[in-house]
Homo-oligomer: A and B are copies of this chain.
């Protein structure tokens, strides 16, 4: 176990000064061809790599992007991360990922740790608990410290920063209209509780979708689920003896679970009840029947966020603050669950 090699080691070994070594390695023309060669050879031999930490300290930037998401075991978020990483790595940035695990406290702690020197900027989707509490001081603070923050998907309207969002309302409306267009007239909604921003927006889209067809909103056809862990029981109870011919669910788990419950009731999907979900994940693709769903283009969102952040980082003009809100279009992917 040998120590990591530094400029100092090389300098001592070659009996020259540290600064000469530094310059030689950068190929500075100030240094004679001769020493340059010698130093480079030595460095390669000992596999010298400049210490990132020292560079970060010197340059006052870390070339790393911090990403904070509510859940890591989650198809949509990992897809976004994939996009973030791709762009970041291309531009020589590292990506640090932390999950808040939907906990306010963890989100605050992670953010504070990362804000104190570990990263140059944030890409963030807030925790459920944070949305519920409505306490965003940690975000405001990091922004005030001069760190760029990009929020995506689960954003906070009142925060002054860039935002990349999915057009949840339109996506949901589109989904609902699709159900109506294939003949459904009694369309149920399975959604989350209201404080989850995306749940609320998709619920709104559902209502608009119905209105577009002049169908009255029947609150008894709307199920709001708080605890995902018990969604099966909730959905079972909700669908039992219910007279419906279509379901719009705000995520793929609810959609797949609904399909399963219906099967238990010996109803056919899509013939008796058609289903549309949200998020184009593994489940939607490979379930039987495969699920028609609203794709959010997660990778694209990630790429865009990453680009935007790096752009801020590298071309920040003093005195000019400009914040964008970018809306990424959704796409309805039609599959078996609405094929009739």
Cβ 8 A contact of A118, one of B53, B78, B144: B53
**Residue A145 interfacial (CB < 8 Å):** yes
In the assembled complex, the Cα of A53 lies from the Cα of B94 at a distance in Å of 15
**Residue A282 interfacial (CB < 8 Å):** yes
Q: Closest approach, in angstroms, between the C-beta of A5 and any C-beta of chain B?
A: 9
In the complex where A116-B51, A286-B260, A288-B259 touch, is A72 in contact with B62 (Cβ < 8 A)?
Answer: no
For window 1-44 of A, CB contacts with B under 8 Å fall at 1-4
For window 103-143 of A, CB contacts with B under 8 Å fall at 106, 109-110, 112-118, 141
Cβ 8 A contact of A50, one of B75, B116, B283, B287: B116
In the assembled complex, the Cα of A2 lies from the Cα of B4 at a distance in Å of 36
Using CB atoms, name the residue of chain B closest to A3.
B146
Contact B78 A106 (CB under 8 A): no
Cβ 8 A contact of A97, one of B96, B114, B257, B281: B96
For window 30-85 of A, CB contacts with B under 8 Å fall at 47, 49-54, 56-57, 62, 64, 72-75, 78-79, 81-82, 85
Using CB atoms, name the residue of chain B closest to A93.
B113
In the assembled complex, the Cα of A99 lies from the Cα of B95 at a distance in Å of 10
Q: Closest approach, in angstroms, between the C-beta of A55 and any C-beta of chain B?
A: 8
For window 159-204 of A, CB contacts with B under 8 Å fall at none
In the complex where A50-B116, A73-B78, A116-B50 touch, is A144 in contact with B2 (Cβ < 8 A)?
Answer: yes
Using CB atoms, name the residue of chain B closest to A143.
B1
Contact B78 A82 (CB under 8 A): no
In the complex where A82-B73, A85-B99, A257-B286 touch, is A53 in contact with B62 (Cβ < 8 A)?
Answer: yes
Residues of B within 8 A of A54 (CB): 57, 117
In the assembled complex, the Cα of A85 lies from the Cα of B69 at a distance in Å of 13
Contact B99 A114 (CB under 8 A): no
Residues of B within 8 A of A253 (CB): 282, 286
Cβ 8 A contact of A115, one of B49, B95, B96, B283: B49
Residues of B within 8 A of A95 (CB): 96-98
Using CB atoms, name the residue of chain B closest to A286.
B256
In the assembled complex, the Cα of A317 lies from the Cα of B117 at a distance in Å of 30
Residues of B within 8 A of A116 (CB): 49-52
Q: Top 3 closest A-B pairs, CB basis?
A: A52-B117, A49-B116, A53-B117
- Enumerate 14 A-B pairs (CB-CB under 8 Å) in ascending A order: A2-B145, A3-B146, A50-B116, A51-B116, A52-B116, A73-B78, A85-B98, A89-B110, A94-B113, A94-B118, A256-B288, A281-B282, A282-B283, A283-B283
- What 4 new A-B contacts, CB under 8 Å, besides A64-B118, A256-B288? A74-B78, A85-B99, A94-B114, A96-B97
